[in-house]
Amino acid sequence: MTETPVISTVGLSGLLISFGSGMSEPANRAALAFRTVLEAEDWPEVSETMMSLVSVFVAVDLVDTPAEQLREKLTDLLATRDWYGAALPGGRHLWHIPTVYGTDLAPQLQEVAEVAGLDPQEAIRQLSTARVRVLTLGFAPGQPYLGELEEVWNIPRQQDLTKSVPTGALVTAIRQLIIFTAPTPTGWRHIGQTAFRNFVLGDSNPFALSPGDELTFPAIERAAFDKLSRTDRFGGAEKEVIA
Amino acid sequence: MTAHLKVMSAGPSMSIQDLGREGHLAYGLTRGGAADRLALHEGAALLGQSAACAAIEMVGIGGTFEATADTVIALTGARMVATLEGAPLVWHACHSLPAGAKLVIGGVQSGNYGYLHIAGGFDTPRHMGARASHLNAQIGAPLQRGDALAFDPTKSARAGYFLSPDNRLQGGVIRVITSFQSDHFSSETRERFARTAFRRDPRGNRQGVRMDTDAPGFYAEGGLSIVSEVITTGDIQVAGDGAPYVLMCESQTTGGYPRIGTVIPSDLPKVAQAPVGGAIRFEFISHDAAIDIEKRARREIKSLSSQAQPLVRDPHDIADLLSYQLISGAVSASADPFAR
């Protein structure tokens, strides 16, 4: 079921610990747990760490630090527990982000429901009650890849790119959701619209979300959406600490 | 006390850059900073200051500038046509810029990214620890006519020195090491990649540079279903059409297309500055060889300031050195005194 973590070098920039060769929930959870522990270790030669879907990148200057030396330390740390079975780390947040499904704000809801084989009301019910986790942040600053949705949402990207969807767009493909940071051309389908901002330059905390945070997207009416304060960067979202 | 460098006219792609911002990869933000980092070190060496100072990066064409106080500037990176009050200025050198004098930086003669440095660096706003514009991330904006860039006029620097940088403006052989996705490509594909003559495609920017070739594309085995993984600067990503892209300072942080290898850091300026159509070849070297090359390159960067030479042998003999056009004219045979 689970794979053995593999350590590789990444050019001269660092090492990669890969917990799987494809996206899976246990591998994502292992990467999240491992990065959290690694950050707490605060090794002096490590300049930063990041997680992708199923791996952790450890940035180290391999010109000055021999890769083998770091590989040994990582191997020792990996051996301390079963990362695939590790509990989710604490200090995460659960966000409830009001979302308009469909309408002219998010015109591909109907199409997505058809591809998933659901009627639109059932599609909205499932999407607005699903609880998903930030699998990784990437592509644009603070932009979350969220998952995983139920198997029925394993729908492919569309063949053609949509020229642009707006900031705050909620899009879906391959059992995942994304909230876009900025207007973006995309092959993912635009099913909901939020007033949430992933990244606000100049804010004391410019990135709203962190890897491991969880989100829900409760449905609101178009009229309620229009009333959401434009000065609220979180678009009326509520945030609670997950113990 | 603050003075300003006023932008009287601006090419379309001028921005403030420094060494970029680290520590935000986990949040989807790459380091950014100057496309040719070596040029920042050269400007710093000429002006006797830190390479962390912010400079203006000019892509293809510069602009017209005036300072509100006397200062000293340095010009590095892509060779561009520059004049001060109509008199040609030597590139790869530092010069006095008197208050109110008109500095014109025209088009590139060679390379892509030119840099205008100022004594003490530009004191523009910092965001998340750096002044660098990261246009993909909507941090900062291209410079435009009417902008006034703050600098500290009390910071002075010697003027009238030049450097002779290694030629990195023509493309050539780019050294590459394998990385964690290289073995998605068969050894035959990698050998063919290393034998192939590429040209720098016009499709290239701070995010990535496409390599063009008449040869067939390069495909990974099972290529398009690879899980998205971290991208580092210099990674050579092979897109769905089989064409390689060298990913640059403003690339995305993760990507699903496989990487055949990674350009070593000290050869990245050569990729950034390669002219459109310029010949490029990739040579795989061992990790140990790459580490030796990088150690040497870092030693050379440290010795840059001791390599700066005076523009004339005995400046004490001339009272107002830089007002003499014949001096810069004598050094720069290729500057075009009639440009702009």
Does residue A140 share a domain with residue A69? no
Does residue B142 share a domain with residue B12? yes
Q: Which domain holds residue B160?
A: 3-165
Does residue A222 share a domain with residue A138? yes
Q: How many domains does chain B have?
A: 2
Does residue B161 share a domain with residue B15? yes
Nearest 5°: the CA angle A199, A200, A205 is 85
**Pairing label, strands A184-186, A162-165:** antiparallel
For residue B252, give both structure tokens: 């995305």
Confidence of residue B288 (pLDDT cuts 50, 70, 90): very high
Q: Which of A68, A85, A102 is the last residue of a domain?
A: A85
Q: Which of residues 194-223 of A touch B (CB under 8 A)?
A: 199, 201-202, 206-207, 210-211
Q: Which of A54, A85, A116 is the last residue of a domain?
A: A85
Of B49, B64, B136, B32, the C-alpha closest to B94 is B49
Q: Give the separation between CA B297 and CA B45, rounded to whole angstroms.
A: 15
The residue of chain A with its CA nearest to that of B127 is A202
Percentage of chain A modeled with pLDDT above 70: 98
Does residue A149 share a domain with residue A231? yes
Helix-helix angle A109-116:A120-129, to 10 degrees? 90
Task: Determine how many CB atoms are found less than 10 A away from the CB of residue A34.
Answer: 25
B319 within domain boundaries: no
CB contact under 8 A, B252 and A21: no
For residue A33, give both structure tokens: 């747990």
| A–B interface: beta-carbon pairs under 8 A | 117
For residue A230, the domain's CATH number is 2.40.100.10
Which residues in B lie closer than 8 A to residue A184 (C-beta atoms)? none
Tell me whether the omega of the peptide bond preceding residue B250 falls within 30 degrees of 0, making it cis: no
Distance from CA of B290 to the nearest CA of A (A): 8
Does residue A200 share a domain with residue A103? yes
Write out pLDDT tens, residues A18-65. 999 999 999 999 999 999 999 999 999 999 999 999 999 999 999 999
Write out pLDDT tens, residues A101-120. 999 999 999 999 999 999 99
Does residue B117 share a domain with residue B266? no
A1 within domain boundaries: no
Of A77, A87, A83, the C-alpha closest to A20 is A83
Which amino acid makes up residue B157? A
Does residue A160 share a domain with residue A213? yes
pLDDT of residue A160: 85
Q: Which domain holds residue A42?
A: 6-85
The beta-carbon neighbor of B232 closest among A10, A21, A52 is A10
Does residue B86 share a domain with residue B185? no
Q: What is the mean pLDDT of residues B126-137?
A: 94
Does residue A173 share a domain with residue A62? no
Strand partners, A8: A16
Q: Give the separation between CA A226 and CA B187, rounded to whole angstroms.
A: 57
A66 within domain boundaries: yes
Does residue B103 share a domain with residue B10? yes
Write out pLDDT tens, residues B66-110. 999 999 999 999 999 999 999 999 999 999 999 999 999 999 999
B279 within domain boundaries: yes
For residue A164, give both structure tokens: 């642009």
Does residue B158 share a domain with residue B223? no
Does residue A228 share a domain with residue A121? yes
Q: Which of A85, A109, A142 is the last residue of a domain?
A: A85
Residues, chain B, total? 340
B196 touching chain A per CB within 8 A: no
Calculate the dihedral angle through the C-alpha atoms of A204, A208, A212, A217, rounding to the nearest 10 degrees: 160
Q: Which of residues 11-40 of B touch A (CB under 8 A)?
A: 22-29
Query: What three-state secondary structure class fits B31?
Result: coil
B201 within domain boundaries: yes
In sequence order, what E strands does chain B have?
Answer: 3-10, 14-17, 55-59, 63-67, 71-84, 87-88, 93-97, 103-118, 148-151, 161-162, 172-177, 198-204, 208-212, 229-230, 235-238, 244-247, 254-255, 259-263, 279-284, 309-310
The residue of chain B with its CA nearest to that of A207 is B27
pLDDT of residue B331: 43
For residue A55, the domain's CATH number is 3.30.1360.40
B340 within domain boundaries: no
Write out pLDDT tens, residues B323-333. 544 444 444 44
Q: How far is CA B273 from CA A25, A166, B31, B255, in A?
A: 43, 34, 19, 24
Write out pLDDT tens, residues A166-207. 999 999 999 999 999 999 899 999 999 999 999 999 888 899
Those residues whose C-beta lies under 8 Å from the C-beta of residue A212, and which sit 6 or more positions away, are: A32, A36, A88, A89, A92, A133, A134
Q: How many domains does chain A have?
A: 2
Q: Give the separation between CA B140 and CA B92, rounded to whole angstroms.
A: 27
Does residue A97 share a domain with residue A73? no
For residue B284, the domain's CATH number is 2.40.100.10
Nearest 5°: the CA angle A74, A79, A85 is 115
Does residue B116 share a domain with residue B65? yes
Write out pLDDT tens, residues B295-320. 999 999 999 999 999 997 554 545 55
SS percent in chain B: helix, strand, coil, step 5: 20, 35, 45
Residue of A8, A47, A64, A65 to mutate, interface with B, max B Cβ within 10 Å: A8
A59 touching chain B per CB within 8 A: yes
Enter the DSSP assignment of B144: -
Does residue B143 share a domain with residue B102? yes
pLDDT of residue B224: 61
Q: Is the confidence at residue B338, as pLDDT, over 50?
A: no
A43 touching chain B per CB within 8 A: no
Does residue B295 share a domain with residue B245? yes
Q: Give the separation between CA B83 and CA B210, rounded to whole angstroms.
A: 33
Does residue A128 share a domain with residue A73? no
B44 within domain boundaries: yes
B326 within domain boundaries: no
Which residues in A lie closer than 8 A to residue B287 (C-beta atoms)? 9, 12, 62, 67
pLDDT of residue B37: 97
Residue of B247, B253, B288 to mutate, interface with A, max A Cβ within 10 Å: B253
**Pairing label, strands A6-10, A14-18:** antiparallel
Q: What is the mean pLDDT of residues B22-27?
A: 96
The beta-carbon neighbor of B232 closest among A13, A47, A143 is A13
Does residue A115 share a domain with residue A62? no
What ipTM was assigned to the predicted interfaces of this complex?
0.92
Does residue B181 share a domain with residue B89? no
Higher per-residue confidence, B339 vs A80: A80
Each residue of B42-67: b (16+ CB within 10 Å) or e? bbbbbbbbebebbbbbbbbbbbbbbb
Residue A243, classified by CB atoms within 10 Å of its CB into exposed (0-12), middle (13-18) or buried (19+), is exposed
Does residue B208 share a domain with residue B155? no
Confidence of residue B156 (pLDDT cuts 50, 70, 90): confident
Residues, chain A, total? 243
**Pairing label, strands A189-193, A100-101:** antiparallel
Does residue B184 share a domain with residue B151? no
Does residue A223 share a domain with residue A162? yes
Does residue A101 share a domain with residue A59? no
